[in-house]
């Protein structure tokens, strides 16, 4: 391999025991370039008439390594009136004699020295590393095996990075999922039941269907809606028994002040036992007291809590252990979060909600039909 000085300077290696970084003298360049020798020396000027002085020594060209003993010397100076000799390999010519005496001219083109170096390159070797991570042996003892990794899996014996999560569905599930169950109907269709603190869903073939059971239906309600020019709509229904956060679906009503009320709404405010408020996505164009015509109000089972908590209300502590009418700092009463218990009976799903009823979702009815309470089962479990 033929290497020039610039390459050797940039790649500091040791070859055949020689430190290549020592070959840094001479003009630095690529192949077929050259540099100039040094200017010839000036022997000085004569001090009077007819002064005779020998010419100065010619300048040296670059040699290797950078030292005066290895440089190519310039030519020698000549006696008065003579011409100096030419230098070797582009070094300066010698100064001429005369009055007044001046130095020799600059040297000519110098050489770049090259060195032929023998570099031994090892042949490529195949690494046979067994798949899997060896965490039992030491790094030395686990020769030929991987000893550590992060988010890596092996595919066909080779390591790959673990893929991230992929979104399964575009639907948004309301609430915190507290129970799941997977089963298959008699036709081989796969289903997944998902019970949250607020809803009950059945997932199948890329879609989540809301099959939350109903607890109450008011049919033939007349003009229950009141608007006030905002997005808030008041709803009148005697004995609705709803709590804030419950869901209600209106159907068969007429539009009121530009608002279509035939949709599902979350109850945002409980006014009293006979009325509540919902929030529409649109703004009413006017204010109407009692409108919407005749239709139905369908209430889903009331929501549960999303997390367990301690109860600090009346009766959470023993009698006469603390000051009257002051809040308790501790409690042994736990208010459990809503949980669901699922199982399939053949191809149908049995669902029981904590502190609630037991329901049946019949696959034969299709995903557009809600689960229904099973008769003759306890109201609360």
User: Looking at the predicted structure, is the pLDDT value of residue 120 above 70?
Assistant: no
Domain boundaries, position 79: 1-122
Residue percentage of the chain with pLDDT more than 90: 45
Same domain, 264 and 296: yes
In a domain, 27, yes or no: yes
Domain boundary among 60, 93, 122: 122
- Which pLDDT value is given to residue 71? 57
- Which pLDDT value is given to residue 236? 97
Q: What is the mean pLDDT of the chain?
A: 78
| Residue whose tokens read 């390999």 | 89
pLDDT digits 0-9 by tens, 253-266: 999 999 999 999 99
Looking up residue 270, the CATH number of its domain turns out to be 2.40.30.20
Q: Can you name the residues that pair with 252 across neighbouring β-strands?
A: none
Distance set, CA 294 to CA 26, 265, 297 (Å): 103, 18, 10
Domain boundary among 251, 267, 300: 300
pLDDT digits 0-9 by tens, 73-116: 666 666 655 556 666 555 555 555 555 544 444 444 444 444 44
Burial bucket for residue 325 (CB in 10 Å: 0-12, 13-18, 19+): exposed
Q: Return the H-helix or E-strand segment holding 8.
A: helix 5-10
pLDDT digits 0-9 by tens, 186-228: 999 999 999 999 999 999 999 999 999 999 999 999 999 999 9
- Which pLDDT value is given to residue 89? 55
Same domain, 136 and 110: no
More confident residue, 352 or 67: 352
Same domain, 152 and 55: no
- Which pLDDT value is given to residue 75? 62
In a domain, 113, yes or no: yes
Same domain, 4 and 73: yes
More confident residue, 91 or 33: 91
Q: For residue 51, what pLDDT band results from cuts at 50, 70 and 90? A: low
Same domain, 45 and 81: yes
* Sheet containing 214-222: order of strands: 214-222, 294-300, 247-251, 264-272, 275-279, 232-236, 225-227, 289-291
Query: Could you give the number of structural domains in the chain?
Result: 3
Q: For residue 45, what pLDDT band results from cuts at 50, 70 and 90? A: low
Same domain, 292 and 223: yes
Same domain, 4 and 116: yes
Q: What is the pTM of this model?
A: 0.57
In a domain, 348, yes or no: no
Residue 53 and residue 370: Cα distance in Å, rounded? 121
Same domain, 156 and 243: no
Q: For residue 21, what pLDDT band results from cuts at 50, 70 and 90? A: very low
Q: For residue 341, what pLDDT band results from cuts at 50, 70 and 90? A: very high
Domain boundary among 280, 300, 320: 300
Same domain, 46 and 20: yes
In a domain, 140, yes or no: yes
């Amino acid at each position: 391999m033929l290497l020039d000085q610039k390459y050797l300077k940039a790649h500091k290696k040791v070859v055949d025991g020689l430190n290549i970084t020592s070959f840094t003298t001479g003009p630095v360049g690529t192949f077929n370039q050259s540099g100039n020798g040094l200017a010839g020396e000036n022997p000085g000027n004569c001090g009077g008439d007819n002064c005779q002085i020998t010419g100065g020594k010619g300048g040296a060209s670059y040699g290797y390594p950078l030292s005066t003993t290895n440089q190519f010397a310039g030519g020698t100076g000549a006696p008065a009136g003579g011409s100096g000799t030419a230098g070797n390999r582009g070094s300066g010519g010698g100064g001429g004699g005369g009055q007044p005496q001046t130095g020799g001219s600059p040297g000519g083109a110098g050489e770049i020295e090259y060195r032929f170096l023998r570099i031994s390159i090892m042949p490529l070797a195949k690494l046979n590393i067994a798949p899997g991570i060896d965490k039992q042996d030491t790094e030395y003892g686990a020769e030929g095996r991987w000893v550590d990794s992060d988010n890596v899996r092996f595919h066909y014996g080779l390591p790959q990075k673990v893929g991230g999560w992929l979104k399964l569905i575009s639907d948004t599930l309301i609430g915190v999922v507290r129970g799941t169950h997977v089963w298959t109907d008699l036709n081989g269709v796969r289903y997944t039941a998902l019970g949250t603190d607020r809803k009950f869903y059945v997932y199948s073939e890329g879609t989540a269907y809301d099959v939350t059971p109903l607890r109450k239906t008011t049919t033939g309600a007349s003009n229950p809606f009141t608007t006030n020019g905002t997005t808030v709509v008041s709803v009148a229904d005697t004995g609705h028994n709803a709590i804030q956060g419950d869901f209600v679906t209106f159907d068969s009503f007429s539009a009121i002040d530009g608002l279509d009320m035939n949709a599902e709404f979350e109850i945002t405010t409980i006014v009293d036992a006979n009325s509540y408020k919902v929030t529409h996505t649109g703004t009413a164009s006017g204010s109407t007291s009692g409108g919407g015509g005749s239709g139905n109000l369908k209430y889903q089972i009331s929501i549960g809590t999303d997390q367990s908590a301690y109860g600090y209300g009346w009766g959470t502590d023993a009698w006469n252990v603390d000051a009257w009418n002051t809040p308790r700092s501790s409690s042994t009463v736990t208010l459990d979060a809503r949980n669901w218990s699922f199982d399939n009976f053949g191809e149908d799903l049995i669902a029981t909600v904590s502190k609630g009823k037991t329901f049946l979702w019949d696959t034969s009815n299709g995903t557009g039909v809600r689960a229904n309470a099973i008769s003759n089962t306890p109201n609360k479990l």
